[in-house]
Structure 1
Amino acid sequence: MLAPERKANDDFVYHSGLKFALLPAYYLPVWFQAIKGDSAVESGIHILPFILALVVATVLTGVLISCIGYYTPFLILGICLAAVGSGLLTTLGVKTSAGKWVGYQLLYGFGLGACFQTPNMAAQTVLPRNEVSIGASLMLFGQTLFGAILVSIDQNVLDGQLANRLAGIADITPQQIENAGVTGILAMIPSEYHEAALEAYNASLRVCFQVAVVVACLALLGGLGMEWRSVKETHTPDDESATEEGREGGEKDGKVDDGKEEV
């Protein structure tokens, strides 16, 4: 049972790290609203390249895995592309052109889409049938737990960075930053300092993106530890051994083929 447990642990590490890699998707709308001056609707429209790339890559990867059988190549390739894409997002600036942030989103979204469903596939493939439900629950637990933790961590990072960077521009307290919202901070700063405040806000958001890059790279370690198994396999060795153990246990209990108990 040690081998399946190790594989499940690798899957859990990978899946948990993958949730941290989703951080840029959370802060991209913030960047559009705060730095580019978009409304909530406009920022939603501007992240469509990421969403479309994510959907296309998810569907395409599912089809390819069904044909090839192996999910590990897509798992590793996907997290590599996501790490590179989120790394490129750390270069976003106040004057970044539309062509750049569209291209960065496409690469980032395609990478996430390529590996989004592979952890669940891995859990269903490497684990015995009687442990698949436990493995799937573990993946859901990791997704929910780390999804809640990551937003809290990065929000604290953003607030701390903003407080430090804006302290030299205007007399703004961390409590004011927390209460101001995404775009309300600029309203509290004199107009002559707006450009410097935008640069400070952009630099703070880039730190949030950098956190996602680091954890995405750590998730790659879990991906590299995954076994190369085909989803087309119907049974695992542990399934067969469990079946044999069940048969031996039945014989020891005194059961024979005719259904009668031995005297």
Structure 2
Amino acid sequence: MNQQDIGKEWKVESDSIPAASDSSMTTMDRPSNPEFFSKEENSDSGASAIKQPTKDEDSGQDELSKQASKPGDHVPEDERVYLTGFELVAAMAAIVLVTFLMLLDLSIISTAIPTITNHFHSLADVGWYASSYQIANACLQPLTGKVYTHFNTKWSYLGFFLLFELGSLLCAISTSSKMLIIARAVAGMGGSGMMNGSITIVAASVPLHKSPAMIGILMGLSNIGVVAGPLLGGALTEKVSWRWCFYINLPVGGLVAFIMAFIRVPEPLIKPPIRQAAVTILNEFDLIGFALFTPAAIQLLLALSYGSGGNFAWGSATIIGLFCGSGATFIVFLLWEHHKGPKAMVPLKMIAKRKVWSSCLLMMGLAGTVIISSYYLPIYFQSVHNDSPIRSGVSMLPLMLGQVVFSVVSGLMIGRVGYYMPFAIFGGALAAIGGGLLSSMTPNTSTGKWVGYQLMSGAGRGFAFQVPIIAIQNSLPYQEISMGMAILVFCQTMAGAVIITIANVIFDTGLNSTLVKYAPNANAKAVVAAGATGFRSVVSEADIPGVIRAYAKSFDYTSYLNAGVAAVIFLAAFGTGWVDIRKKKKPLEKV
């Protein structure tokens, strides 16, 4: 029988089948022969992966049911019950509020930091206020992918959020700089699962081709927290107390917890019962890898912080020992991860995929530019322009608004045109140029120039923000997306922790050297100890212009780093792939 006869036979048989509605005849009711399915059904429902029955096996329907009930399998896209209408609005509102609070927490402290350093006399701890949060966040981040893979998404998400709220409370009642640093670490532990969980929930709530628009809306609206943070932080610091920068998370958090408790969160994977999942923790969660990575990261941050804070000389045995210990522990960690293979905390084969590591580099660049700007622009405005905390927040609005507006715009445009790589390339170039222009700022730079420089830098970041997320979603099979997102956000948070510490080293070193050059009669140690807003009370009137110039020049040095990190965005964008996301993704496809 030739192919034409086969086609005729199938046509006769198919014509003899009574017409049926979708509700009366589903894919499960059809013959198990894969030729019966359309090309799209074979691709989307995973029919091609169904084992055909032999004489010794059950029917195709029984085999499909057995496979579909296996924990860890993905729910085919055409069988998912997506959120629509009020359900989708409520879920998005809760998720946006969660990410809003997380980003607000990162940016609200930026304008309060000068006041906090004055309160605790702790300018050398500036880097730790961010890095303690970031390092705790980064250490736990890969484990969150395992959590969302094996446990209920909604309740895991709420658990991380409540831990973040506890950390916020501890920050608000801190009585010393050390307590504040520890409290920031607790908040970071909770925040480790918030961004990954938000993206996971959004990805499961809508079809894949609608994901860019929803992620754009999520990132754009939640980034209002970045915009409102400096302004709100400045207002609270100036009018009430810097402690309210953390107290504010509590009432909003209560509202979020209430909403999340009553909404349905779709599960993209079939999850085992909680007791069965708990038994697999030791084997699946790679706690040994976690125990190796944590000291490696902490030693690295301690070396950078001690060196930048002047606690020890860079060539001292303590600093060298910390760097060596970090490197040695990290090598052991990599060997262990290679041994664990696909069950590793950081699966090396997954990271080896070009689209994955390119997306991670892109996200690291974005994290670096955001955190440098968020922490050092307020210091520039408050030290050089003598702005109040509120005024410095207002001065940062061009940067934040550019980021928010173009984040939403690019998300909608990517969903329409289908290709995301051009947006990352353009955004990276724009952010690098903006960062370079920021490095040209002096005490006499006009308002129009520094507004334009910030707009350019913020718009560049906005264009690129959702690209690494979309690239990960489209480059990994469904079963690996949650883990891929965890690695992506892990790289984001770890990069933020390291880069802010490097920026602190550059700023402190630059300030000490430029004070000698521009204000030789001023007591450099007294200026540094007084903080960005308090130095005017410890130097003479004649030395103030020189100190201001030293602060401006030190900010320029951090802007050089900003531009260099933004260049990483531009270069990494070329590796994210020329992919049309409007085409349906095969469930078992590995890119």
Counterpart in the other structure of 1:8? 356
1:31-50 equivalent positions in 2, closer than 5 A = 31-50=380-399
Q: 2:405 aligns to what?
A: 56
Q: Which amino acid aligns with 2:574?
A: L
Map of 2:312 onto structure 1 = none
What CA distance in whole angstroms lies between the structure 1 residues aligned with 2:400 and 2:488? 23
- Matched residues in 1 for 2:352 and 2:578: separation? 13
2:538 equivalent to 1:188: yes
Residues 355 and 577, structure 2, Cα contact 8 Å, conserved in 1: yes
Letter in 2 for 1:179: A
Is residue 425–residue 574 contact of structure 2 (8 Å, CA) maintained in 1? yes
Q: Deviations over 1:192-234 (max 9, x none)?
A: 1211221111111100010111122133221122211122232
CA offset at residue 241 of structure 1?
Answer: 7.0
Stretches of structure 2 that go unaligned for 5 or more consecutive residues are: 1-348
8 Å CA contact retained: 2:427, 2:570: no
Q: Deviations over 1:107-135 (max 9, x none)?
A: 11111111112111111011222211111
Structure 1 window deviating more from structure 2 (217-226 vs 66-75): it is 217-226
Alignment match of 1:136 (pick from 474, 485, 489): 485
Structure 1, 6-15 or 17-26: larger mean CA deviation: 17-26
Question: Which residue is equivalent to 2:554?
Answer: 204
- The question of whether the paired residues in 2 share the 8 Å contact of 1:4 and 1:127 is answered with no
- Call closer, same or farther: CA 1:227–1:185 in 2, change over 3 Å: same
TM-score by length of 1: 0.85
CA contact (8 A) 1:159 1:177 kept: no
Match of 1:167, SS?
Answer: helix
CA 1:184–1:70 in structure 2 vs 1: closer, same or farther (change >3 Å)?
Answer: same
Higher Rg:
2
For residues 439 and 409 of structure 2, what CA distance do their matches in structure 1 show? 27
Structure 1 residues 190 and 76, CA, compared in 2 at 3 Å: closer, same or farther?
same
Counterparts of 1:71-150 in structure 2 under 5 Å? 71-150=420-499
2:533 is paired with a residue whose SS is helix
Find the aligned partners of 1:7 and 1:125 in 2 and give their Cα distance.
Answer: 9
CA contact (8 A) 1:11 1:122 kept: yes
Question: Could you tell me how far 1:144 is from its partner in structure 2?
Answer: 1.2
141 and 128 in structure 1: CA distance in 2 versus 1, 3 angstrom threshold: same
- The answer on 1:227 being equivalent to 2:577 is yes
CA contact (8 A) 1:158 1:207 kept: yes
Name the counterpart of 1:170: 521
Q: Distance in 2 between matches of 1:82 and 1:7?
A: 21
Query: Whole-Å Cα distance in 2 between the matches of residues 220 and 235 of structure 1?
Result: 27
Take 1:161 and 1:241, find their aligned partners in 2: how far apart are those partners?
48
Gaps of 5+ in 1: 243-263
Q: Comparing both chains, which one has the higher relative contact order based on Cα–Cα distances under 8 Å and sequence gaps of 6 or more?
A: 1
Q: Distance between the aligned counterparts of 1:113 and 1:201, measured in 2? A: 28
The answer on whether the counterparts of 1:78 and 1:113 sit within 8 Å (CA) in structure 2 is: yes
8 A Cα contact 1:16 1:142, kept in partner: yes
Aligned to 2:335: none
Once the two structures are superposed, residues 79-107 of structure 1 have per-residue CA deviations (whole angstroms, 9 ceiling, x without a partner) of 11011111110111101111111111111
Runs of 4+ with >3 A deviation = 1-4
Distance 2:552 2:354 in 1: 41
Matched position secondary structure for 2:482: helix
- Once the two structures are TM-superposed, the CA of residue 170 in structure 1 deviates from its matched residue by 3.2
Q: State the alpha-carbon separation in 1 of the partners of residues 403 and 467 from structure 2.
A: 14
Mapped contact 1:125–1:230 kept (Cα < 8 A)? no
Instruction: State the alpha-carbon separation in 1 of the partners of residues 580 and 418 from structure 2.
Output: 5
Structure 1 residue aligned with 2:375, among 26, 39, 53? 26
Distance 1:3-1:86 versus aligned 2 partners, 3 A rule: closer
Q: What letter matches 1:9 in structure 2?
A: W
| CA–CA separation in structure 2 for the residues paired with 1:190 and 1:241 | 66
Q: Specify the code of the residue in structure 2 equivalent to 1:113.
A: G
Residues 431 and 460, structure 2, Cα contact 8 Å, conserved in 1: yes
Judge which range, 162-171 or 136-145, deviates more: 162-171
* Change beyond 3 A, Cα 1:138–1:241: closer
1:155 to 479, 500, 504: 504
- How much is the aligned-residue C-alpha RMSD, in angstroms? 2.1
Q: In the alignment, is the contact (CA less than 8 A) between 2:431 and 2:566 conserved in 1?
A: yes
Shift of 1:179: 2.8
Alignment correspondent of 2:195: none
SS in 2 for 1:189: coil
Change beyond 3 A, Cα 1:147–1:189: same
**Closer/same/farther in 2, CA of residues 15 and 100 from structure 1, 3 Å limit:** same
In 2, Cα distance between equivalents of 1:156 and 1:185:
20
Give the counterpart letter for 2:393 in structure 1: G
Q: How many Å separate the matches in 2 of 1:241 and 1:165?
A: 53
Corresponding residue SS for 1:182 = coil
Q: CA deviation at 1:2?
A: 7.7
Does the CA contact (< 8 Å) of 2:403 and 2:458 recur in 1? yes
- Alignment partners' CA distance in 1, 2:375 and 2:590: 45
Contact 2:528 2:535 in 1 (8 A): no
